Amino acid sequence: MTKKYVYRFEEGNAGMKNLLGGKGANLAEMTNIGLPVPPGFIITTEACKDYYDQGRRFPDGLVDEIRTHIQNLAKKLGKAFGDPDNPLLVSVRSGAPVSMPGMMDTVLNLGLNDKTVEALARSTNDARFALDCYRRFISMFGDVVMQVEHHHFESILAAQKERRGVTHDHQLTAEDWREVIARYKALIQAETGRSFPEEPMEQLTMAIQAVFDSWYNDRAIVYRKINRIPDDLGTAVNIQAMVFGNMGHDSGSGVAFTRNPSTGERRIYGEYLTNAQGEDVVAGIRTPKPIEELARELPAIYKQFQDICELLDRHYRNMQDIEFTIERGRLFILQTRNGKRTAQAAIKIAVDMVNEGLISREEAMLRVEPEQLDHLLHRRIDPDAALEVIATGLPASPGAAAGIAVFDADTAEKLGQEGKKVILVRNETTPDDIHGIAAAQGILTSRGGMTSHAAVVARGMGKPCVCGCEAVRIDPLQKMFTVNGVTVRQGDLIAVDGSTGRVILGEPPMLDPELSDEFRQLLEWADEIRTLEVRANADNPEDAAKARAFGAKGIGLCRTEHMFMGPDRLPRMQEMILAETADARREALEKLLPLQEGDFYEILKTMEGLPVTIRLLDPPLHEFLPNAEELAVEVAHLKFTAPESPTLHEKEELLRKVRALSEFNPMLGHRGCRLGITHPEVYEMQARAIFNAAARLVSEGYTVFPEVEIPLIIDAGEFSLLKNLIDRVAAEVQAATGINFEYTVGTMIELPRAALLADEIAREAEFFSFGTNDLTQTTLGFSRDDAEGKFMHRYLEHKILANNPFAVLDRKGVGKLITMCIQAGRAVRPGLLVGICGEHGGEPNSIEFCHQAGMDYVSCSPYRVPIARLAAAQARVINDGLVQKDYGTK
């Protein structure tokens, strides 16, 4: 039995996305619920996969199967492929299981040739229209299928307009199109050495092959990498009878969302163009009209469309993104899919749909991508600030960002990798710009609407975007733009406000974000659903307060080293480090004690009633001293310029000490609790500062829960030694003050040996907190600073690693170790408190792992607390099977 590679729309449904692709499955679904969908059929993703498996050759039987379906389709419409009287014309479109907008190729009007174009002219009684269709087909086919670059076709068209002395396409006559067509064909012949294929079946098989091939074109590969889509899904191919939106003023094309994709408002939101094909709307070349105008222009059609939107919104229980065409007063639906939306819209739609009774609270959790929340949680422009607004465009993706203006994607990527903040400024973006958009803080385009490429992609990535800002005149070669007399060159600072459309000169002051009511509602539901607690990493009272406001239930990591970096503290810290005797060291530490005590007092007070994990000093001491190479150069200079100066001597002495402290591999060196072992007086001072602060707060009536954390443990004996020291100091402070306070002593698990010996360590330690950055470094043997700059990209390219393991927790390796560690630890101490405090604690995929591994909490930066709350709820919903898995909800 051979495989079935082709499905009629009537044979499929929305659940068959993996086989039929998203577009095809939805066309099938709509056909079966009775919507006006032009008839057609789908070539499955299996066919694509087999095509690749066989070295880019069509699998046996596929061409025959396609021929049969084309004949059946033609018969149904009373047409025939290549028929000189009644020719069948079709569109050929890719459709992957996961939406990849604009990433792959489409061919329209397929079936036209020198003969059938005349039939089309006769049947429409419009030779100019038919020839226009034909020349569009030839250029699209030439570009997409025969690899003749698009600009060659553009040049021919431009030359024709120049010859005719006209400026717009619609000013060209049928005769002009005949000449253009002849030139197009000659171009193809010259560029490819092949003639343009007149035979429709040949056109079709070539187009299908081109769609298959497009699965592995460069931009598709990049898109999949950015969006973490597996390469082995393959694409389906949709073949559908053509309908024409460009048959006059009772025709048109448009796209619409069943709800507002920017705000989530429950109202159809869309754009259309009369006398245009769909490509014209999304290309952003003509600025389309708002969908409301259709009510005036074609009221019956508008009413019908409204009803269909309502139906699809309820049928899919999700906001839909719908493409439609009106052919001579008749409405056709060409596509529906779950609409991309801003985080703000996603939240509002999810909460609204719960309130409308369409979905459950658990389902609502899955309707918002946690990562997307990120930009709702970042800054907006201070409304009270005086701004130099130089232009206003469309508010295409909300949030504000500032950066230096950059005029091409490559430069944006390059500067982005150097850590620079950039705003990508383009006339319009294309899929070739994806890497630049990914690297930019924000996007500004001079052309295109809310559904233009730039707008869609920016919303997907959660980046601020201002679109269609036509006042801005961009000169990409000169790397500058001018607007209202202002010139902005590459490197100048600008800001975009994607919520209002404003473009601003300089870097305006920004404000902290606030959470909308719906956002709060969603997070409250998330808190009810999730079982994983969320804490924040905060090193100072301000961050602690922010964390609390964002819903953190404690501090999971309070680093104490930043406290030594202040200008009033660093000199004392250096004094301590450079002390030659234990006495001198103690003296320096005594000066630091009251400062540390003040830090802890404020943080513990801010987190009153909640636990605060305080990590004792962790980084190597040389981090507090000047750089050796710089000092050496300074010394070399001084030897020439001031060989007798006492400064030279001092610097030489300092250099000697810095050298003595310098390390080959500081990450694996004298740091963490190793400092506590060799310099117990430092940990003693810190413990005393914590307990003094706790005692003061208790005496003032506060309830505090300090959790003292010992970093970089490798052995239970090492832990006990330091725990004994801490317990002794606690007892001393309690004895001296007469005040009792609660505290626990636990450890970070950040080295493989600690994870391997978790049972022994858990006998002593009251909590474990995974420091997954270091644990990743040691488990993989990757120094993060070195790996990310030097070889990580290759590991991702070759797919040796699915993700950067510093961004997304490496479940296979590090995760295995963590799972073993928790099991072993809980086996000896069933109530062992377990959390994570690496950056992974704020990353949704990693949070899901933490839920599965049975951790008690994740801890992340304050701004990511809401993301973590939602991700923790999602993890619960998915892992505990609280809703049926619902394809395409995101």
C-alpha 13 chain-centroid distance: 29
CB 619 within 8 A of CB 671: yes
DSSP state of 14: G
C-alpha 447 chain-centroid distance: 24
Q: Which is nearer to a copy of itself, 543 or 634 (CB)?
A: 634
In the complex, the smallest distance separating the C-beta of residue 749 from a copy of itself, rounded to whole angstroms, is: 11
- Please give the residue ranges that form the binding site for a copy of itself (CB under 8 A): 628-629, 632-633, 636-637, 640, 663-670, 672, 674, 677-678, 712, 714-715, 717-718, 721, 750-753, 756-757, 774, 777-783, 785-787, 790-791, 794-795, 798-801, 810, 812-814, 816-817
DSSP state of 629: H
Q: Which is nearer to a copy of itself, 795 or 887 (CB)?
A: 795
Is residue 379 packed enough to be buried (19+ CB in 10 Å), middle (13-18) or exposed (0-12)? middle
In the complex, the smallest distance separating the C-beta of residue 752 from a copy of itself, rounded to whole angstroms, is: 4
Give the torsion through C-alpha atoms of 14, 17, 23, 26, to 10 deg: 0
Check the CA dihedral 863-868-871-877 and report its sign: negative
Q: Which is nearer to a copy of itself, 646 or 781 (CB)?
A: 781
In the complex, the smallest distance separating the C-beta of residue 174 from a copy of itself, rounded to whole angstroms, is: 54
- In DSSP notation, 36-50 reads ----EEEE-HHHHHH
Q: Which is nearer to a copy of itself, 347 or 725 (CB)?
A: 725
In the complex, the smallest distance separating the C-beta of residue 799 from a copy of itself, rounded to whole angstroms, is: 7
Q: What share of the chain is helix, strand, coil (3-state, %, to 5)?
A: 50, 15, 35
Q: Which is nearer to a copy of itself, 16 or 775 (CB)?
A: 775
CB 806 within 8 A of CB 776: yes
Q: Which is nearer to a copy of itself, 330 or 790 (CB)?
A: 790
Ranges of H-type helices in 290-389:
292-297, 299-316, 343-355, 361-366
Q: Which is nearer to a copy of itself, 291 or 761 (CB)?
A: 761
b/e burial code for range 427-451 (CB count within 10 A of at least 16 → b): bbbebebbbbbbbbbbbbbbbbbbb
Residue the block writes with tokens 């919104």: 313
Check the CA dihedral 507-511-512-514 and report its sign: negative
- In DSSP notation, 810-824 reads -IIIIIHHHHHHHHH
Hey, what are 583's tokens? 């006495």
Distance CA 181, CA 179 (A): 5
Active-site residues, by number, are: 453, 837
Distance CA 600, CA 612 (A): 10
CA atoms within 13 A on the CB side of 737: 20
Give the torsion through C-alpha atoms of 14, 17, 19, 23, to 10 deg: 90
In the complex, the smallest distance separating the C-beta of residue 417 from a copy of itself, rounded to whole angstroms, is: 14
Q: Which is nearer to a copy of itself, 241 or 787 (CB)?
A: 787
Distance CA 551, CA 530 (A): 13
CB 462 within 8 A of CB 399: yes
Hey, what are 567's tokens? 């200008």
In the complex, the smallest distance separating the C-beta of residue 420 from a copy of itself, rounded to whole angstroms, is: 18
In the complex, the smallest distance separating the C-beta of residue 226 from a copy of itself, rounded to whole angstroms, is: 20
CA atoms within 13 A on the CB side of 378: 19
3-class secondary structure, 325: strand
In the complex, the smallest distance separating the C-beta of residue 518 from a copy of itself, rounded to whole angstroms, is: 42
Q: Specify whether the backbone of 111 is left (phi greater than 0), alpha (psi in -120 to 50) or beta.
A: left
Hey, what are 808's tokens? 């997304």
Q: Which is nearer to a copy of itself, 248 or 813 (CB)?
A: 813
* C-alpha dist (Å) from residue 668 to 664, 665, 750, 774: 9, 6, 11, 9
- In DSSP notation, 669-732 reads SS-THHHHHH-HHHHHHHHHHHHHHHHHHHHTT---EEEEEE-S---HHHHHHHHHHHHHHHHH
In the complex, the smallest distance separating the C-beta of residue 804 from a copy of itself, rounded to whole angstroms, is: 14
Sheet containing 90-95: order of strands: 6-8, 40-43, 236-241, 90-95, 106-110
In the complex, the smallest distance separating the C-beta of residue 636 from a copy of itself, rounded to whole angstroms, is: 4
Q: Which is nearer to a copy of itself, 228 or 816 (CB)?
A: 816
In the complex, the smallest distance separating the C-beta of residue 629 from a copy of itself, rounded to whole angstroms, is: 5
Question: Which residues make Cβ contacts (< 8 Å) with residue 517, sequence separation at least 6?
Answer: none
Distance CA 417, CA 367 (A): 32
In the complex, the smallest distance separating the C-beta of residue 712 from a copy of itself, rounded to whole angstroms, is: 6
In the complex, the smallest distance separating the C-beta of residue 49 from a copy of itself, rounded to whole angstroms, is: 20
Q: Which is nearer to a copy of itself, 514 or 629 (CB)?
A: 629
Distance CA 244, CA 275 (A): 9
Q: Which is nearer to a copy of itself, 576 or 693 (CB)?
A: 576
Q: Which is nearer to a copy of itself, 670 or 890 (CB)?
A: 670
CB atoms within 10 A of CB 385: 11
b/e burial code for range 105-116 (CB count within 10 A of at least 16 → b): bbbbbbbbbeeb
